[in-house]
Structure 1
Amino acid sequence: MLLLLVIVRLPWAGDLGMHAATLQRLRHSPLDPGNPLVDVDTPSPYYSPWTVLLGCVARVTGFSVFVVLRLGALVALGLLVTGVWRYVRTLSARPAAPPLVLLCLLLLWGTAQFSWSGFLGLTSLALTVSYPSVFALGLAFHLWAWLAGAVRGSGGRPAGWGVWAGLGVLWAVVLLVHQFSGIVASLGALAVVGAARAGRRVWGRLGAGLLVGVVVLWLWPYYDFFALLGAGDGMDEVHRSLYRDLFGRYWLVLAGVAALGVRWWRDRRDALVLFFLLGAVVFAAGGVSGHWSWGRVLPAALIPAQVAVALEVVGSGRRAVRAGWACVLAAALAAGAWGQAGTLGYVVDREALPGAVAEKSPEPWRGYHWITPWVGYGDVVMARRLPSRQIPAYGAYTVAPGYPDFFLRDENARAAAVRTYFAQGTGAGSRREIVRAYGVRWVVDRGPGLRGAEGLRAVARGPGGQVLYAVVD
């Protein structure tokens, strides 16, 4: 219910502007949308099967992209819940297992607030529920459940070739929708197969399914998936913070790590244990080598630990042991719930919250709807980095992208042009050259820096002292 209310409000933070901009381009030009943020014709990994579908929904229905993002969030949330339910059913027949696992996925993290797409903590999910990463993770849980059934087969025989081809397509779709969640899905699939002690017949079918998936990745027309394999170094600095404050963010998951130790003692090839080890090794390798973007694989270690402790509580062992696990988990969930209590601020006015909870509740970003009476679709706006992460959501372009863009070859030159334009010592002639080079029609800035500048006319004022200027020459 809390997440449904979050979807209604759709708090603006993080990458919401990027995803809204992606739908804007697909809504206006489904076959050749161009770059979602700047006015150039480049591919983008944000044009995935999921966003293309949502863009077509926006085009056919006429709904605004924010309404379509809410509809997509409802579908993704439903897919995630049903995927967790199906996956847990492959591990336990206990009726209480799926809902308890859901609670662990949401609350069993740490007591320091943390949010990032692809991470299923309540705070993260509240901000990213409309992002493609949630849809991709929902598909990942369904992939693992379907794969577990295919490996087991029926009557001692593995599933047929068509099932494995379908699994290959599903795997490729997860990778196309959200590449980092696709890696998590791949590690989870490896764990499922490794734990099943599959024979030759399964490995042959698995190879065929992988081949089908690779073909789908190769044929996807909106961007070159395999070109992204060389994009890791450019993303490392953005992800460096994933290796900070690990204890504060994740210490409650240690209960799950202990549960994994118990499962390993019972079965050296337990699926959850293998999944955890794969994720932990890749995450640690990223930290040691300085490939910080590898930190996005951390859910591959967190998810199996969170699932494992829930399964110990509902397991078939002695009642006293289960009671002990239940006490530990209840205390951990309570601590995790308090650590993420600030999520309530996204659906309840801060003034109505207790002071201690209100302090935990971050203020959502303010949008740029106030510029839309003047700035039209496709207009180019000169803006600094933070506004550039939001303005394209309304249909305009910015000079430099607000997010790293692997396919944009002149990204550094565009960022340098923005810095030069807003620098105090830049003359009117230099600003005029930048405006003409990038077709700038509007400028957004705050403070007195551009007040009275030649070639600009103030037309609107927004929150926080921001001003919209029209370029008049």
Structure 2
Amino acid sequence: MATTHPAAPSRECDGVRDSGLRTGVGHGPGETARNCPRQRVTAPDLVLCGILCFLCCVAWRLPWAGDLGQHAAVIDRLRHDLADPGSPLVDRPGSGSPYYTPYTVAAALLARATGAASLSVMSVCGMVNSLALLAGLRIFVRTLTDRLWAPALTALCMLFLWGTQLFLWSGHASLSALCLSLSYPSLFAFALGLYLWSRLLRAGREDTGVVHWAVTGLLAGCLVLIHPVMAMGALIGCSAMFAGTVRRIGPRTLARCTAGAVTAALLLVVWPYGNILSLPDASALDAFHISAYELIPQHYGLALIGLPVLLLRLRRSRRDPLVLMCLGTATVAVCGWFTGHYTWGRVIPHLLFGLQCAPAVELCAPWPRGVRARTGRGLLAAVFAVALLNGARVQAGALLYVVPAHRLPVAFTAKAQYLPTWPGFDWAARHFRYGEVVLTNDYEALRMLPGYGVYTVMPAWPQPEIPRSESMRRTADVALALDARATGSERRKAVCRGGADWLVLTGGQSIPPGQGFVETAEGPDGVRLVRVALRC
């Protein structure tokens, strides 16, 4: 049986917290929350509130440069037919689509109750996700340690300690990545994972009952449904938090763990929108996720400041939860690289969070007494300050998602690293009716148009509910319909096979020769909207 070595807790209810972590040193369960009177809002909480206000401003503006349209389309399909929504991106049955999750069902119910447009609901989701992320972070860090400034400093590290070159990916919690994915299910899954870690820390230290474990299992099941790939890193963290703090594993503990596991499995089995356990593997997405393994020093190098701190924590306790979590996620990430399963790189945000959290917690400890320890702490603080400022410089371009560029100094906008938002298709959307089908192969159009209530002939991303053969046929039909070298008859037949009501043409793409096509509108950069009036 595994046991920890208890140390006498030394806590105070005012500004000074204990110098040791709650985990790995065996402090009594929940002493601070139960024995100390309710405190007023502190300066660290104001820092978190400031971050929350900024993220809510971003969510209100809802910058669009990514998969926002796909997630809005999922809400649209559920809002129009909650029982049988079909495939979210193409006009076909979609039994078993993994995009219909508790997160998107809740958003669709909000849309149905309020009558708000899906994109407006996505803006609300962004605000909810912002609150969930910072609340989950604060709860986790306050469960991990009593140090007052640790949550605020961890939040700053999470936003800025990434790399010297901007890298944007959904599920990543850098400031710029958050601005473009605030309303995505992956961010809510990351926030829910942090909250689950706090529950597993409590379960390891305290004598929690069956209800605690059942609720934890229910939340874990929701996490897997919301984002199965992001859940991998979160569940590794759950195992690490519990293994790093549990004092002994007896029959009662095993029974409660079983109750949590059964609750999670039961939710996965009874979920009405398809069994997540029967989905095909994620190998079709590996080609898209290889970017997570490219330019690692430039994309993640600043977070390596946490590596010496993790080694220090390992020296203090071989069962330190953060160390175990980083070892577990790093192992999966490395295996993903060597096996070619690049989708496993989705655990990298959780690995980096451990690297970011460790120095933040360490620097919030009281100043050590020995000369050698003081020198080490001073060196860590200096390197940390330089890294944090450098990371803030890299992420500073996120300000452009809130403040228009013409209101900022030219010297700033000229050097800022950021991904410009895409021009919208509002000019075309006024001609669409819900459920119509658009044929296009433009990168941005494929990812934006579903957000306006229409389908595309070919999906922007591989969809698990669409057989590979059908997906290849749809892609071939789109290529043939837009191929100027093909005959007019071949191109018209391809348009008919795709069931297209509209064509969106970019660059030098031409309208198929013959009657049955009406150029309806023209948008930015020469993009044209063509009505299909063929008798197929």
Aligned to 1:403: 461
Q: Deviations over 1:113-156 (max 9, x none)?
A: 01111111111111101111111111111111112112222xxx
Aligned to 2:123: 70
Do residues 148 (structure 1) and 206 (structure 2) align? no
Shift of 1:322: 3.9
Pick the aligned partner of 2:284 from 224, 234, 242. 234
Whole-Å separation in 2 of the counterparts to 1:82 and 1:469:
47
Pick the aligned partner of 1:179 from 228, 252, 262. 228
Report 1:80-91 matches (<5 A).
Answer: 80-91=133-144
Report 1:188-267 matches (<5 A).
Answer: 188-197=237-246, 198-200=248-250, 201-228=252-279, 230-267=280-317
Whole-Å separation in 1 of the counterparts to 2:458 and 2:386:
47
Aligned to 1:35: 87
Whole-Å separation in 2 of the counterparts to 1:421 and 1:125:
37
Moved more, 195-204 or 22-31: 195-204
Q: Deviations over 1:205-241 (max 9, x none)?
A: 112211210111111111220123x322111101111
Shift of 1:317: 5.4
Aligned to 1:52: 105
Whole-Å separation in 1 of the counterparts to 2:450 and 2:513:
25
Write the letter of the residue equivalent to 1:363: P
Aligned to 1:415: 475
TM-score normalised to the size of structure 1? 0.96
Shift of 1:448: 4.1
Write the letter of the residue equivalent to 2:256: R
Pick the aligned partner of 2:386 from 327, 331, 337. 331
Aligned to 1:6: 58
Do residues 432 (structure 1) and 492 (structure 2) align? yes
Write the letter of the residue equivalent to 2:323: V
Pick the aligned partner of 1:135 from 179, 185, 188. 188
TM-score normalised to the size of structure 2? 0.85
Residue 46 of structure 1: SS of its match in structure 2?
coil
Aligned to 1:275: 325
Aligned to 1:302: 352
Write the letter of the residue equivalent to 2:273: Y
- Residue 439 of structure 2 contacts residue 498 of structure 2 at CA under 8 Å; is this kept in 1? no
Identity within the alignment, %: 38
Structure 1 unmatched ranges of 5 or more: none
Shift of 1:449: 2.6
Shift of 1:26: 1.1
Shift of 1:61: 0.6
Write the letter of the residue equivalent to 1:293: T
Whole-Å separation in 2 of the counterparts to 1:22 and 1:71:
15
CA RMSD of aligned residues (A): 1.5
Do residues 465 (structure 1) and 514 (structure 2) align? no
Q: 1:170 to 1:452 in 2, by over 3 A?
A: closer
Aligned to 2:14: none
Aligned to 1:379: 436
**If you compute each CA radius of gyration, which structure gives the higher value, 1 or 2?**
2
Aligned to 2:71: 19
Report 1:283-298 matches (<5 A).
Answer: 283-298=333-348
Residue 144 of structure 2: SS of its match in structure 1?
coil
Whole-Å separation in 2 of the counterparts to 1:452 and 1:26:
35
Shift of 1:361: 2.9
- Residue 385 of structure 1 contacts residue 402 of structure 1 at CA under 8 Å; is this kept in 2? no
Shift of 1:451: 4.3
Pick the aligned partner of 1:315 from 365, 373, 378. 365
Write the letter of the residue equivalent to 1:138: A
Whole-Å separation in 1 of the counterparts to 2:149 and 2:380:
14
- Residue 278 of structure 1 contacts residue 300 of structure 1 at CA under 8 Å; is this kept in 2? no
Residue 113 of structure 1: SS of its match in structure 2?
coil
Whole-Å separation in 1 of the counterparts to 2:485 and 2:453:
31
Do residues 443 (structure 1) and 500 (structure 2) align? no
Residue 117 of structure 1: SS of its match in structure 2?
coil
Q: Deviations over 1:42-95 (max 9, x none)?
A: 132111101101011111111111111111111111111111111101221011
Q: Deviations over 1:288-308 (max 9, x none)?
A: 111111111112211111110
Whole-Å separation in 2 of the counterparts to 1:355 and 1:254:
33
Pick the aligned partner of 1:126 from 175, 179, 183. 179
Whole-Å separation in 2 of the counterparts to 1:298 and 1:223:
28
- Residue 80 of structure 1 contacts residue 135 of structure 1 at CA under 8 Å; is this kept in 2? yes
Residue 389 of structure 1: SS of its match in structure 2?
helix
Whole-Å separation in 1 of the counterparts to 2:239 and 2:478:
45
Moved more, 172-181 or 302-311: 172-181
Do residues 453 (structure 1) and 492 (structure 2) align? no
Shift of 1:426: 1.8
Q: 1:111 to 1:356 in 2, by over 3 A?
A: farther
Q: Deviations over 1:178-216 (max 9, x none)?
A: 122211110110101111244123233112211210111
